[in-house]
Structure formats: C-alpha cells, structure tokens
Amino acid sequence: MNREIKFRGKRIDNNKWIYGNLSIRKFNNEIEIFIRPFDRLKSYQVIPNTIGQYTGLKDKNEKEIYDGDIVKTETVEGIGRIIYRDDFASFVVDFESGCWDSMEVIMEIIGNIYENPELLERKK
C-alpha cells in the first residue's frame, strides 16, 4: 500500500496555501518551517499553526482531505474536523458527539479550521 506523504500550509509572505514536502530548520535558535512544492526547487516559509498533513483520502468531490479540514458526512449528523489521533495512530473525524475512526464514510470538505473556525462553533 502506497500513501502519498505531503503537507499544506499558508505561506508567510502572501498567506496563500502551498502544498508539497515539509522541512524544519533551526536558524538563530528559532524554528522555521518550510514547504517545497513538488514541481519547484524553492521552499517557502509557512505559518506553523496552518500546517496539515494529507490523509491519503479524497472527499466526494475528489478534493484531497488534510488534517484540519472541516467535513460533513452522509453517515453521521453534524460536521467534524479531521485530526490525527496518536492513540489510534490514524486520522479520524472529530465530531461534537465523539470521534469517528472510520475514514471510509463519504465526506465533503466544507472548510478548514484556519479559515472557517466558525463552522465548528457549538449550537446553543
């Protein structure tokens, strides 16, 4: 089984998403994180809290699903976010009612935690 390993993050210089290989560098006692697109030689520094790893899965519209995406499913009511759980050693969908460890459900990406955090606000 081959799973494509890649990451995304928002570039520091223009706040746009970039996809590719992740590298971490220590410079002047500061940690800097870069992503290098597969088709380029240049790496771009990214905002650390926007980094997400590709899950290896696509949603019902063939969009790649990343850690930090917000999804809705046809199986579980409500919306959830994609997270990595060390105790499961896998990506899961984190719903208000609990985690769904089967990523085999039909999902649709409706946003992400960086640009659309309001989608996860609890209904009162």
pLDDT score for 59: 94
Give bridge partners of residue 23 from the DSSP assignment.
34
Higher pLDDT, 66 or 104: 66
User: pLDDT, tens digit, for every residue of 22-65?
Assistant: 999 998 899 999 999 999 999 999 999 999 999 999 999 999 99
What pTM value is reported for the model? Answer: 0.88
Give the span between the Cα atoms of 41 and 77, in whole angstroms.
Answer: 44
User: pLDDT, tens digit, for every residue of 70-98?
Assistant: 999 888 888 999 999 998 888 988 988 77
Is residue 1 pLDDT above 70, yes or no? Answer: no
Is residue 123 pLDDT above 60, yes or no? Answer: no
Domain range annotation of the chain: 7-49, 54-120
pLDDT score for 98: 77
Beta strands in 1-124 (DSSP E): 7-10, 17-27, 30-36, 44-45, 52-58, 64-66, 69-73, 79-85, 90-95, 98-100, 107-112
Is residue 103 pLDDT above 70, yes or no? Answer: no
Tokens of 59: 């949603």
CATH 2.40.50.140 at 54-120, yes or no? no
**Torsion (CA) 12, 15, 21, 25 in degrees, nearest 10:** 10
